[in-house]
Amino acid sequence: MSFDVDVTVRRGRAVIGTAFHAGAGSTVLVGPSGAGKTSVLLMIAGLLRPDRGHVRVAGRTLFDDAARIDVAPQHRRVGMVFQEPRLFPHLSVRKNLLYGARDAAALPDIAATLDIAPLLDRWPRTLSGGEARRVAIGRALLSAPDFLLLDEPLSSLDRARHEEATRAIERVRDEVRLPMLIVTHDSVEAERLGQQIIRM
């Protein structure tokens, strides 16, 4: 199993939780806004501690409250792509991509896969929304993660940029072949990107 997740956390008066097993490939967590999808991603990444449960990815236990295992976020080998690209405005695209990179030699291949090679010498402020999302995905890949988490990676993009970013995610799914968990509220996106779909 690529993902074996069973987590619950209380946030205010709400109790957020889910349990699912998903095999290799891309898994999409789909549901309405407020269902707790982003909280689940944060728990898998180690940025939000569950009250109970476990998180196992590719057979590796990252969290297990019963066994008192809680691997620190920086040791989970996760590539996280947030809703906002969160690029450093004072760094070029190339330097953004290489920030935290474990394998700088992979830059040409990843830039080609994501079609961002022509952007390397540009500044984040000059990028379209779709370009910035692709750069954010590239930065996550260059950290040499064991798996990817993408939080609403296609939200707030116009039609053309949406299609650009969608194709980039498909290429990562089909060519890089990392276990990938994508959050979306859009059922059409879920059907296109997900080899497995989990509904919340």
Q: CATH 3.40.640.10: does it fit domain 3-199?
A: no
**At residue 162, what are phi and psi to the nearest 5 degrees?**
-60, -45
* Spatial CA neighbour of 154 closest among 186, 199, 176, 125: 186
Supply the pLDDT for residue 12.
84
pLDDT in tens, 49-92: 999 999 999 889 999 999 999 999 999 999 999 988 999 999 99
Which H or E run includes 108? helix 107-113
Per-residue pLDDT band for 24 (boundaries 50, 70, 90) equals confident
Distance of alpha carbon 56 from alpha carbon 49, whole angstroms? 14
Supply the pLDDT for residue 150.
96
Residue found under tokens 């509220």 = 185
CA 25 to chain centre: 13
Q: What mean pLDDT comes out for the span 137-158?
A: 93
Taking CA atoms, 55 is separated from 20, 110, 134, in Å, by: 10, 28, 27
Q: Which two tokens stand for residue 115?
A: 């079609």
Domain residue ranges in the chain: 3-199
The three-state secondary structure class of 164 is helix
Residue found under tokens 């779709």 = 130
* Spatial CA neighbour of 44 closest among 23, 64, 66: 64
pLDDT greater than 90 at residue 183: yes
Supply the pLDDT for residue 21.
94
Q: Which two tokens stand for residue 36?
A: 């707790």
**By 3-state DSSP, what share of the chain in percent is helix, strand and coil, each rounded to 5?**
35, 25, 35
- Please state the pTM of the whole predicted model: 0.91
